[in-house]
Structures are given as C-alpha cells and as structure tokens.
Amino acid sequence: MNLEKFKELGFSDGQISVYSAVLDLGISTLNKIQEKTGIDRRNIYDILNKLIERGLVSYSIEGGIRTYQCTNPNNILDEVRKKEAVLREIEDTLPQIKSIFNNKKPEIISETYR
C-alpha cells in the first residue's frame, strides 16, 4: 500500500516505512520490522517511539519480548483533524498578516528621464 500522502501529515520516510511494515505484519517484533524495512535497529526504536507518541502504534510484552501492532486506523483521522485545525488557525490570521503587510509596504515612486 502506498502511504506517501502521510508526508502531508508530517510523517518522515522512515515513519511511513515502519508504520507500513507493522500494518502488513500485524503483531510483530523489532527483528521482523527490521527485516521488512531494512532500517537500522536503533532508528527503528526512535521511529516506533514517535509512532507510539502519535497513538498510531502500540506495544505489549509477551514472554519478555516486546511486540508492536498498529492501533485503530481512526487515530489517523485525529492526525488529519489536528492538521485541519492548524490550517484554519493560519487562515484566520491571514487578514491580520495582510493588514500589517499593507501598512508596512513602502510606497514606490519611480521617475525615468531620457
């Protein structure tokens, strides 16, 4: 599955690869994720922690081994809604930005002689 659009939500290439791998594998260990993605183990730990913070991946410990799985895909909608809220805030500040821009814009007078 192509998850390249996730970049619009601020996902890195590594996060997209790891999320896709966990999604494909179901319940998976770090070794399986590394085999599927080819990403260094240390980087996978960092990426998984970021995905856990975003609520997109969770883990459990079974027999002393940590296994990872994707959370409910509706959590992705939460990411989309956060992004929409930020974009609305930016849109709401545009009139103020335009006002400041127009007030600070120097008046340009040009004369050309021949």
Residue 36 confidence (pLDDT):
92
Residue 20 confidence (pLDDT):
93
Structure token pair of residue 56: 């997109």
**Token pair 């990872």 in the structure block, residue:** 68
The 10s digit of each residue's pLDDT in 24-42 is 999 999 999 999 999 998 9
Res. 78: pLDDT tops 90:
no
- pTM higher than the cut 0.85: no
The 10s digit of each residue's pLDDT in 86-100 is 899 999 999 888 888
Residue 51 confidence (pLDDT):
94
Structure token pair of residue 75: 């959590």
Give Cβ neighbours of residue 87 (< 8 Å, ≥ 6 apart).
none
The 10s digit of each residue's pLDDT in 34-65 is 999 999 989 999 999 999 999 999 999 988 89
State the average pLDDT for the chain: 89
Residue 103 confidence (pLDDT):
81
